[in-house]
Amino acid sequence: MNPIDLLYRMVKIRSFPGEEREIAEFLLEASKGMNFDHAYIDEVGNFVAIKGRGDKEIYLVGHMDTALGWIEPRIEGDLLYGRGSVDAKGPLAAFIVAVSEAEIPDYLRVVVVGAVEEEGPSTGALHLLKKVSSFPSYLIIGEPSGADGVTLGYKGSLFIRKSFLSDVSHPASGNDGAIEEGLRSIERIRKLLDELNRGKEGSIDRIDMKVREITSSSDGLTEKLDLGVSFRLPLWIDPDELLSLLGDGWVATFKAKAYRCDRNNPLVSAFNRAIRRRGLTPKHKVKSGTADMNLLAPVWGCPSVAYGPGDSSLDHTPREHISLKEYLLSIEILKDVLSSIPPTL
Domain boundaries, the chain: 3-155+258-340, 156-256
- In this structure, the dihedral spanned by the alpha carbons of residues 237, 243, 247 and 248, taken in order and rounded to 10 degrees, is -160
CATH architecture of 156-256: 2-Layer Sandwich (3.30)
The DSSP symbol for 104 reads -
Q: Do residues 289 and 122 lie in contact, with contact meaning Cβ atoms separated by under 8 Å? A: no
Q: How far is CA 280 from the centre of its chain?
A: 25
The DSSP symbol for 202 reads S
**Rounded Cα gap, residues 262 and 73, in angstroms:** 38
Q: Do residues 79 and 323 lie in contact, with contact meaning Cβ atoms separated by under 8 Å? A: yes
Strand-pair category, 138-142 with 56-63 = parallel
**Rounded Cα gap, residues 183 and 162, in angstroms:** 12
**Rounded Cα gap, residues 196 and 199, in angstroms:** 9
Strand partners, 222: 167
The pLDDT assigned to 345 comes to: 59
The pLDDT assigned to 137 comes to: 96
The pLDDT assigned to 221 comes to: 84
**Rounded Cα gap, residues 174 and 115, in angstroms:** 52
The answer to whether 118 is a known catalytic residue is yes
**Rounded Cα gap, residues 315 and 301, in angstroms:** 28
**Rounded Cα gap, residues 158 and 68, in angstroms:** 20
The pLDDT assigned to 172 comes to: 47
Catalytic residue among 20, 57, 117, 118: 118
**Rounded Cα gap, residues 64 and 30, in angstroms:** 14
12 three-state secondary structure: helix
Q: Where are the alpha helices (DSSP H) in the chain?
A: 3-12, 21-31, 89-101, 123-131, 178-197, 239-245, 266-276, 293-300, 324-340
The pLDDT assigned to 149 comes to: 98
Predicted structure pTM score:
0.92
**Rounded Cα gap, residues 296 and 291, in angstroms:** 9
Residue pLDDT tens, the chain, 345 long: 899 999 999 999 999 999 999 999 999 999 999 999 999 999 999 999 999 999 999 999 999 999 999 999 999 999 999 999 999 999 999 999 999 999 999 999 999 999 999 999 999 999 999 999 889 999 999 999 999 999 999 999 999 999 999 877 645 455 668 999 999 999 999 999 999 999 998 899 999 999 999 999 888 889 999 999 999 999 999 999 999 999 889 999 999 999 999 999 999 999 999 999 999 999 999 999 899 999 999 999 999 999 999 999 999 999 999 999 999 999 999 999 999 998 875
Top-level class of domain 3-155+258-340 = alpha beta
* Residue type at 128 in one-letter notation: L
Write out the H or E segment, with its range, that includes residue 158.
strand 156-167
